[in-house]
Amino acid sequence: MTAVCRCAPHVRTRFGSGGDLIPHEHRVVRPKTPGELHSAFAMGARVIGGGAGIMSAAMPAEPPALGMDLGALGLHTVASDSGRVGALVRLAELQRTRLDGHNAVAAALAATATPAVRRVITVGGVLGARMHRSDLVPALAVHGARAHVVTAASPEPRWLPVLGLWDLTDPFAVLHVDLGAPGHSAFRRLAGHQTVAPALVTAAGLRRADGSLVVCLGAATPRPVLLDADQLPPAGSFLEDHRASAQYRREMAAVLVAELAEELSVVEAA
């Protein structure tokens, strides 16, 4: 495991909240095996994905004093046959692959940020950040997607449902994502005036074989929630802030779920 700086010049500094440039120490470890990755956690290293979130003053994450580059672990590819996606695959690259039977995932990718930012953001970075506003996570969740992770507690990689990442208390690294089973799915996003504004409510839905509709809400609650379409939680479970009241978010969630139910009532042509 070598300690090298692989940061591009534009990520060696970041803007602080006052517009000042904060030096980035650019100490990075590059594990070659899950075992080395586990040891890196003991050194206090934290994973760096595309760097879009870490380098943005708009995001809560701070650049770690010791970064961890997963680039030597072979996580750059998408295996279309198995639906397994490496953590370092950029969102733009995933968009270019065949996502048949994963319409919600394709729509959530298209709704994330801008084409330029999607060329930077990695799949692992989206999951690793555990943002309640992530567009991709609800879409993955309705398909039963799983994340392959190594945690600081154990060197053995294991598979977890994507929403199970929210329950981890130890530092972790996502190595792969399994996109889950294909199905009849769709995605909706409600934001402010501009479509690229942070979402107020997102909803992904998938019509199960028995005709019922499973939904995952994002952005509206402190963490994404997976539920049956007819079991929306009460307003008290929704976020309340300067951008929208909990009641408004709850009502908009009901609207998005109704739209999903209507769209997914039409059976797709084989």
Ligand X SMILES: Cc1cc2nc3c(=O)[nH]c(=O)nc-3n(C[C@H](O)[C@H](O)[C@H](O)COP(=O)(O)OP(=O)(O)OC[C@H]3O[C@@H](n4cnc5c(N)ncnc54)[C@H](O)[C@@H]3O)c2cc1C
Interacting residue ranges for ligand X, rule: CB under 6 A: 46-54, 56, 59, 61, 70, 87, 112-113, 117, 120-122, 124-126, 128-129, 133-136, 172-174
- Give the angle 87-225-176 at the CA atoms, nearest 5°: 15
- Residue 116 or residue 209: which is nearer to ligand X going by CB? 116
CB of 31 to ligand X, least distance (A): 12
The total number of residues written for the chain in this structure: 270
Residues 14, 17, 18, 23: what is their CA dihedral angle, to the nearest 10 degrees? -30
- Residue 45 or residue 214: which is nearer to ligand X going by CB? 45
- Residue 58 or residue 267: which is nearer to ligand X going by CB? 58
Residues 37, 38, 39, 44: what is their CA dihedral angle, to the nearest 10 degrees? 90
- Residue 122 or residue 221: which is nearer to ligand X going by CB? 122
CB of 74 to ligand X, least distance (A): 13
* Residue 86: strand pairing partners: 176
Rounded Cα distance between 172 and 130, Å, is 11
CB of 267 to ligand X, least distance (A): 29
The strand pair at 46-48 and 66-69 is best described as parallel
β strands within the chain, DSSP E: 2-3, 13-15, 21-23, 27-30, 46-48, 66-69, 78-79, 84-86, 146-151, 154-161, 172-178, 184-190, 201-207, 213-218, 225-228
CB of 125 to ligand X, least distance (A): 2
Rounded Cα distance between 205 and 84, Å, is 21
CB of 225 to ligand X, least distance (A): 16
- Residue 78 or residue 120: which is nearer to ligand X going by CB? 120
CB of 270 to ligand X, least distance (A): 32
CB of 114 to ligand X, least distance (A): 7
Alpha-carbon distance values, 181 to 65, 178, 235, 236, 244 (Å):
38, 9, 31, 32, 34
- Residue 126 or residue 260: which is nearer to ligand X going by CB? 126
- Residue 41 or residue 238: which is nearer to ligand X going by CB? 41
